[in-house]
């Protein structure tokens, strides 16, 4: 019959407990008493080094985050030729007499807005989440962006949404105000 081999952790924990709390160190002899102050100094030194490392790393991370935020704020969002051409296409769609072209214009303008906000490195998986992450002081036309995005959501999620030309033009004008704030078109 085979015997099962196992480690009795309770025994080791009991030895440690006896050593620490019941004066068990006295049974270990004089050498432990001699080394105890040295072990204390080494332990305190290692603890202080770890504490200094934690403080240093924390300060560096804060500094790097500040630097990244400042770079994002001061970095101009420059319009690319592609977005200017895409907005010209939006304007052609909005000048059409076809209501489906107006809807397409709003969806295209929302795509441009999504690209603009994404290039500004705001967090979020979609435009709605990114707009929620924006501070009103950083984005003067934030309300216009929200209003225009709400119209786009109505178009995308309500198939029977009726859009008149005046409402379509007003929505594109909201997008245009946002793009002009950041010199994106």
pLDDT band (50, 70, 90) for residue 165: confident
Confidence of residue 73 (pLDDT cuts 50, 70, 90): low
Is there a contact between 127 and 110 (Cβ–Cβ < 8 Å)?
A: yes
- Check whether 45 has a pLDDT greater than 80: yes
* 23-48 average pLDDT score: 73
The pLDDT assigned to 28 comes to 58
Query: Which of 5-14, 55-64, 153-162 has the largest mean confidence?
Result: 55-64
Q: What is the reported pTM? A: 0.56
pLDDT attached to residue 31: 56
Q: Over 60: is that where the pLDDT of 107 sits? A: yes
Alpha carbon distance 110, 90 (integer Å):
10
Please report the pLDDT score of residue 59 as a whole number: 95
Which one is predicted more confidently, 41 or 4?
Answer: 41
The answer on pLDDT for 24 being more than 70 is no
Considering only CA atoms, which of 114, 115, 92, 116 is closest in space to residue 104? Answer: 92
Tokens of 127: 């435009």
Compare 34 and 11 and report the one with higher pLDDT: 11
Q: Which pLDDT does position 46 carry in this prediction?
A: 95
Q: Which of 157, 148, 73, 89 is nearest to 114 (CA)?
A: 148
Distance CA 1, CA 129 (A): 66
pLDDT of residue 37: 79
């Amino acid at each position: 019959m085979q015997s099962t081999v196992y480690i009795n952790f309770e025994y080791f924990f009991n030895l440690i407990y006896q050593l620490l709390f019941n004066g068990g160190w006295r049974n270990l002899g004089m050498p432990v008493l001699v080394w105890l102050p040295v072990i204390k100094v080494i332990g305190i030194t290692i603890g202080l080094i770890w504490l200094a490392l934690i403080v240093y790393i924390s300060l560096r991370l804060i500094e790097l985050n500040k630097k990244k935020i400042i770079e994002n704020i001061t970095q101009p969002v420059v319009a690319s030729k592609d977005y200017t051409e895409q907005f010209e296409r939006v304007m052609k769609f909005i000048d059409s007499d076809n209501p489906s072209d107006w809807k397409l214009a709003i969806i295209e303008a929302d795509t441009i807005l999504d690209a603009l906000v994404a290039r500004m490195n705001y967090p979020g998986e979609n435009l709605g989440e990114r707009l929620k992450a924006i501070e009103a002081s950083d984005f003067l036309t934030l309300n216009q962006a929200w209003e225009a995005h709400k119209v786009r959501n109505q178009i995308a999620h309500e198939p029977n949404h009726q859009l008149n030309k005046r409402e379509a033009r007003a929505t594109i004008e909201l997008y245009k105000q946002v793009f002009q704030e950041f010199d994106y078109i």
